């Protein structure tokens, strides 16, 4: 039915089968849209947030998807600026994932603010001292860059490519893509960093606050570094999931191995920096505010106790770094998969604690730990971008030449 739109020389499932899959995920999407409309029309009383938990699940989801989507800018940097040419075989997918992640983040932000129609105030009445303003500017511009990076791939659709103008436009855009990759990397460094700065500048919140270098707290640099380190793991994980669903090999092992190796060393170096940061914070910064390390991990509800820092730093940091930096372990498919899964969990925990544990920890000595339970509306609107992402990624895979090596790795008989 849609065969004229499919890329040449590759096999796709039947249109009805594809449609059923999309409809199932579409139902989840509609559930999320319903919850989103509730939040917009009835207000944020639909959430489980309160005055002590002004930042919660949504802000975590924003930070997490942006960190995971960091694979786009870092892979682009490696391919176009540093010259790791093998990565051309995975860069398209990284860009698609990045586009999904960043559009999701913008959508969640649009739901998260109390007066969405005033969102433009952040640009019009901007406070240049605010990390959130820096986030908004860089994130919006970088999303535009991602959209531009996505265009040539869209134009390579079989039907669109038949139009000479689109064909030439795509070709010319490929030629200048290094400029956009460099712009993307520059912007990403700032918005990833400023997302870290959002927590790090909170000098009224000793769990989040970090010492500064110039105008930026350490979390600024840690967030940029971790997004570059962990983002490619998410790209690899989604590639493996796509390969599993399509039951095809889509990217050659040497490409995945190169990205995994670079990611591994980035995580390893990030972990060194993160451990130094944690040590300094625990022994110098926090005590100067009258707090001991263990006071931050004594949540009576059991959620914010030592297990969470072990899960973040050891299970989600040191362990994947060890696996990914070791050639033998990396070559083992199961170990590779384990490492990228742990890495993704690790960076998500980091973003979680830098948002929710900050809110949960009582700063006033006579207060107790604050508890928070997201409402179904928050959960649904957080799942909404996942459903949207699955649909967009499925459409991209079906109709666009996302994986350049697919044809070679999966020759179609006849």
Binding site for other proteins (CB under 8 A): 43-45, 50-55, 112-116, 118-119, 121-122, 124-127, 129-133, 136, 198, 201-206, 209-212, 215, 217, 285, 287-292, 295, 358-359, 363-367, 370
Torsion angle defined by CA atoms of residues 120, 154, 104 and 344, in that order, rounded to the nearest 10 degrees: -140
Instruction: In angstroms, give the least distance from the CB of 45 to other proteins.
Output: 4
In this structure, the number of other CB atoms found within 10 A of the CB of residue 50 comes to 12
Rg (CA), the chain: 22
Instruction: In angstroms, give the least distance from the CB of 212 to other proteins.
Output: 5
| Coil vs helix vs strand at 400 | coil
Instruction: In angstroms, give the least distance from the CB of 188 to other proteins.
Output: 19
Residue 355 or 400: which CB sits closer to other proteins?
355
Alpha-carbon gap, residue 342 to 238, rounded angstroms? 14
Burial of 69 (C-beta count, 10 Å sphere; 0-12/13-18/19+): buried
State the alpha helices, DSSP H only, in 247-375: 253-280, 286-288, 306-310, 319-325, 327-331, 333-352, 358-360
Residue 201 or 238: which CB sits closer to other proteins?
201
Instruction: In angstroms, give the least distance from the CB of 362 to other proteins.
Output: 9
Residue 24 or 110: which CB sits closer to other proteins?
110
Contact between residue 30 and residue 65 where contact means Cβ atoms under 8 Å apart? no
Residue 42 or 327: which CB sits closer to other proteins?
42
Instruction: In angstroms, give the least distance from the CB of 355 to other proteins.
Output: 9
Structure tokens at 243: 């390969």
Distances (CA, A) of 182 to 83, 135, 139, 176, 178: 12, 18, 15, 10, 6
DSSP state of 50: B
Residue 43 or 244: which CB sits closer to other proteins?
43
**Who contacts 128 (Cβ-Cβ below 8 Å, separation ≥6)?**
none
Residue 47 or 246: which CB sits closer to other proteins?
47
Residue closest to 321 by CA, chosen among 227, 224, 219, 233? 233
Residue 14 or 50: which CB sits closer to other proteins?
50
Residue 198 or 324: which CB sits closer to other proteins?
198
**Who contacts 247 (Cβ-Cβ below 8 Å, separation ≥6)?**
none
Return the beta strands (E) in 184-326 as ranges: 212-213, 216-217
Residue 307 or 376: which CB sits closer to other proteins?
376
Instruction: In angstroms, give the least distance from the CB of 288 to other proteins.
Output: 4
Structure tokens at 61: 């989801």
Structure tokens at 296: 């931050």
Residue closest to 202 by CA, chosen among 193, 211, 190? 211
Instruction: In angstroms, give the least distance from the CB of 200 to other proteins.
Output: 9
Residue 198 or 400: which CB sits closer to other proteins?
198
**Who contacts 394 (Cβ-Cβ below 8 Å, separation ≥6)?**
18, 21, 22, 25
Residue 61 or 271: which CB sits closer to other proteins?
61
Alpha-carbon gap, residue 45 to 150, rounded angstroms? 37
Alpha-carbon gap, residue 39 to 322, rounded angstroms? 43
Instruction: In angstroms, give the least distance from the CB of 35 to other proteins.
Output: 16
């Amino acid at each position: 039915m849609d065969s004229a739109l499919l890329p040449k020389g590759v096999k796709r499932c039947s249109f009805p089968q594809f449609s059923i899959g999309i409809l199932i995920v579409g139902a989840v999407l509609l559930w999320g849209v319903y919850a989103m409309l509730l939040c917009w029309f009835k207000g944020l009383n639909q959430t489980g947030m309160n005055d002590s938990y002004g930042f919660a699940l949504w802000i975590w989801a924003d930070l997490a998807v942006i960190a995971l989507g960091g694979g786009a800018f870092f892979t682009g940097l490696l391919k176009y600026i540093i010259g790791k040419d093998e990565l051309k075989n995975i860069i398209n997918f990284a860009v698609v994932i990045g586009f999904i992640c960043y559009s999701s983040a913008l959508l969640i932000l649009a739901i998260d603010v109390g007066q969405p129609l005033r969102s433009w105030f952040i640009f019009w009445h901007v406070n240049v001292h605010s990390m959130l303003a820096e986030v908004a500017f860089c994130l919006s511009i970088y999303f535009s860059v991602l959209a531009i990076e996505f265009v040539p791939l869209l134009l390579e659709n079989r039907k669109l490519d038949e139009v000479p103008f689109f064909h030439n436009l795509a070709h010319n855009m490929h030629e200048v893509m290094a400029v956009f990759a460099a712009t993307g990397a520059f912007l990403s460094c700032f918005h990833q960093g400023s997302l870290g700065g959002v927590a790090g500048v909170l000098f009224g919140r000793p769990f989040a606050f970090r010492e500064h270098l110039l105008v930026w707290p350490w979390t600024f640099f840690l967030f940029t570094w971790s997004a570059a380190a962990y983002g490619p793991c998410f790209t690899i994980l989604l590639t493996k999931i796509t390969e599993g669903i399509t039951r095809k090999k889509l990217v050659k092992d040497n490409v995945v191995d190169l990205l995994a190796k670079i990611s591994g060393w980035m995580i390893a170096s990030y972990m060194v920096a993160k451990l130094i940061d944690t040590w300094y914070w625990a022994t110098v910064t926090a005590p100067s505010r009258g707090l001991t390390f263990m006071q931050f991990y004594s949540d009576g509800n059991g959620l914010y106790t030592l297990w969470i820092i072990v899960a973040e730093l050891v299970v989600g940091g040191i362990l994947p770094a060890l696996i990914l930096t070791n050639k033998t372990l990396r070559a083992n498919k199961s170990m590779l998969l384990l490492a990228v899964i742990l890495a993704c969990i690790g960076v998500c925990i980091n973003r979680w604690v830098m948002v929710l544990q900050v809110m949960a920890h009582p700063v006033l000595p006579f207060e107790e730990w604050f508890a928070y339970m997201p409402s179904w509306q928050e959960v649904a609107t957080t799942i909404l971008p996942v459903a949207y992402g699955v649909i967009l990624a499925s459409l991209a895979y079906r109709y666009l030449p996302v994986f350049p090596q697919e044809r070679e790795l999966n020759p179609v008989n006849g």
